[in-house]
Chain A
Amino acid sequence: MDIKVLGTGCAKCKTLEEVTRKAVEEKGIDATIEKVEDIMQIMTFGVMTTPALVIDGKVAVKGRVPSVDEIKKLL
C-alpha cells in the first residue's frame, strides 16, 4: 500500500504523519509512508486544504487530522 501525507510542514501535518504511522503499525500492514512537503507536488493532487492523506493515489482525508481508528478504517 502506498500512503502519502501532504503538508507544508505545520504542526497539524506532523501530527497527521504520526497518527498515520501508528495506524499502519497497529494494523500490521505493509505500507510505505511518504511525507510530501513540496507545495508544487501537493497541488498535483488537487488538494486545497492541508494536511491531507493520500492512499494509493486517492485523497482520503484533507484539511484535518483524523483519529488513529478512523485511519485504520480507511486503510
Chain B
Amino acid sequence: MEQKKKLKLIASIIVVLPALVALYTYLQPLIDYFTYQLLPLKPETHLGEAINFFFYDTIKIMILLFLISSLMGVVNAYFPVERLRVYLTTKKMYGLQYFFASFFGAVTPFCSCSSIPLFIGFVQGGIPLGVTFAYLITSPLVNEVAVAMFLGLFGWKATLIYAGSGILLGMIGGYILGKFKLDRYLSDWVKQIQQNAQIEADQWEGEKTPFIDRLPAIIADGWGIVRKVLLYVIIGIAIGAAMHGYVPEDFFTEYLSEDKWYAIPLAVILAVPMYANAAGIVPVIQVFVAKGVPLGTAIAFMMAVVGLSLPEATLLKKVMQWKLIGIFFGTITIFIILLGYLFNWII
C-alpha cells in the first residue's frame, strides 16, 4: 500500500475508534434526549419506553458487533490452524487437548462453510475424533455475533457464562463422543483419509501480505457482518421492544418458570431444528429473562438454536453417516439440557 493510503487508514482508525467508544458510553443519555425531548414521547408511557429501548439497543448492538467482528477478523487472519493441528497431534496433553480444541473453536470465527474442510484437515492430521468434535461443537456455538449480542443485552457476566459454558460443552461433548469409538460411522472416503493420516511437515509458510495492507479488508469484513445481520437485529429488537413495553410481567413466568421441570427440555427441543441466527434470537430471549424466565433456560434455548441446526446436519452429511450425525446431535442436545438445569440451580 502506498504511504499516503496507509496514513489515511491509521488516521481514520484514530478518529473513528474513540468516537465509537464515546458514543457507546454516552448512548443512554443521547437516546433519552432524542426520544423524550426531540420526539413528543413521555418516559412513563409504554410507547416511549419501547421506542427508547429499540433505538438504544439497536445502536449499542451495532457498535459492539462491528468492534468485535473486526477484532475477531484480526485473530482469524493470524490464527495458525495448521500449527494448532501439528501441536494437537505431537504433544502429549493429558486431556488438555480437549480444552485447546474447544477454546480455539471459540476464538476462531470461521465461516460455517469452513467447518467441513477443518474437520477433514483434523482427521487428516491424525487428531482423534473426540478432539475434532470438541472443536466442531464450540465453533458455531461461541461466535462473534452471539458474543456481541450477549454483551450488549445481558452484560459481561452473562457473556462470560455463555462463552465459558460453550467451551465446557465442547470439551465434555468431545470427550464423551471420543470414548464411543465412532470412527466407523464416518463416510467411507473420510475413513480412507484417516487411515493414511500423517502429520505433514509444517509446510505452512505464513501470509506474505503485511498486516496494514490486510486491515482494510478485515474492517470491511467486520462491517459486512454488521450489514448482513442488521435486519435480523432490527426485527429481533423490534419484537423485543414491543414485548418489553406491552407484555405483562408474569406472562412468561407462568409457563417457563423454574418450578416447571419440563421447561428446559421443551425449549431446547423446539430450538434444535431452528436456525434463527443469534442476532435475531437474543433480543427476544432478553425480554423472556426480563420477564422472569430463568437465565439457564434462556441460555440452553439459545445454544440449541445456534449450535445445532438442520443446515448444519446436511453439511455434516458429507463427512459422516446419518447415524453419527444422530449420535452427535443427540449427545449435544442432552448436554445442553443438563447445562440449563445446572445454571438454574446455581444462579
* A65 interface residue (CB < 8 Å to B): yes
Q: Is the CB of A48 within 8 A of B117?
A: yes
* B26 interface residue (CB < 8 Å to A): no
Q: Is the CB of A67 within 8 A of B217?
A: yes
Closest residue of chain B to A65, judged by CB? B217
Q: Is the CB of A50 within 8 A of B203?
A: no
Closest residue of chain A to B113, judged by CB? A10
Q: Is the CB of B217 within 8 A of A49?
A: no
- Taking CB atoms, residues of chain A closer than 8 Å to B112 are 10
Give the number of residues in B that approach A within 8 Å (Cβ atoms). 30
* B318 interface residue (CB < 8 Å to A): yes
Q: Is the CB of B117 within 8 A of A12?
A: no
Bound: A41/B230 CA distance, A: 36
Bound: A14/B121 CA distance, A: 22
- At the interface, is chain B mostly helix, strand, loop or mixed? helix
List the one stretch of B27-35, B75-83, B162-170 in contact with chain A: B75-83
- Taking CB atoms, residues of chain A closer than 8 Å to B207 are 61
- Taking CB atoms, residues of chain A closer than 8 Å to B213 are 70
Bound: A33/B233 CA distance, A: 38
* A46 interface residue (CB < 8 Å to B): yes
List B residues 188-236 near A (Cβ within 8 Å).
189, 193, 200, 203, 207-209, 213-214, 216-217, 221
* A29 interface residue (CB < 8 Å to B): no
Q: Is the CB of B111 within 8 A of A10?
A: yes
Closest residue of chain A to B81, judged by CB? A48
Bound: A49/B276 CA distance, A: 24
Q: Is the CB of B203 within 8 A of A12?
A: no
Q: Is the CB of B118 within 8 A of A48?
A: yes
* B90 interface residue (CB < 8 Å to A): no
Closest residue of chain A to B120, judged by CB? A43
- Taking CB atoms, residues of chain A closer than 8 Å to B214 are 64, 66, 70
Q: Is the CB of B77 within 8 A of A49?
A: no
Q: Is the CB of B318 within 8 A of A63?
A: no
- Taking CB atoms, residues of chain B closer than 8 Å to A67 are 216-217
Q: Is the CB of A49 within 8 A of B200?
A: no
* B12 interface residue (CB < 8 Å to A): no
- Taking CB atoms, residues of chain A closer than 8 Å to B239 are none
**A42–chain B nearest beta-carbon distance, Å:** 6
Given A39-B318, A64-B217, A70-B209: A50 in contact with B113 (beta carbons within 8 A): yes
Q: Is the CB of A66 within 8 A of B117?
A: no
Bound: A37/B152 CA distance, A: 38
* A54 interface residue (CB < 8 Å to B): no
Q: Is the CB of A39 within 8 A of B120?
A: yes
Closest residue of chain B to A48, judged by CB? B121
- Taking CB atoms, residues of chain B closer than 8 Å to A66 are 209, 214, 217
Bound: A10/B95 CA distance, A: 34
* B275 interface residue (CB < 8 Å to A): no
**B204–chain A nearest beta-carbon distance, Å:** 9
Bound: A10/B315 CA distance, A: 12
Most chain A beta-carbon contacts within 10 A, residue among B76, B116, B117, B207: B117
List A residues 21-75 near B (Cβ within 8 Å).
39-40, 42-43, 46-50, 61, 63-67, 70, 73-74
- Taking CB atoms, residues of chain A closer than 8 Å to B116 are 8, 39
- Taking CB atoms, residues of chain A closer than 8 Å to B193 are 43
Identify B118's interface contact among A49, A61, A73, A74, CB under 8 A. A49
Q: Is the CB of A43 within 8 A of B113?
A: no
Bound: A7/B221 CA distance, A: 18
**A56–chain B nearest beta-carbon distance, Å:** 15
Chain B 121-147 per-residue mask, 1 if CB under 8 angstroms from chain A, else 0? 110100000000000000000000000
A sample of 5 inter-chain contacts (CB < 8 A) reads: A12-B111, A43-B120, A49-B114, A50-B111, A63-B76
7 additional A-B pairs beyond A46-B82, A65-B221, A66-B214, beta carbons within 8 Å, are A39-B116, A43-B193, A48-B117, A49-B114, A63-B77, A70-B214, A74-B208
Chain A residues in the interface with B (C-beta under 8 A): 7-10, 12-13, 39-40, 42-43, 46-50, 61, 63-67, 70, 73-74
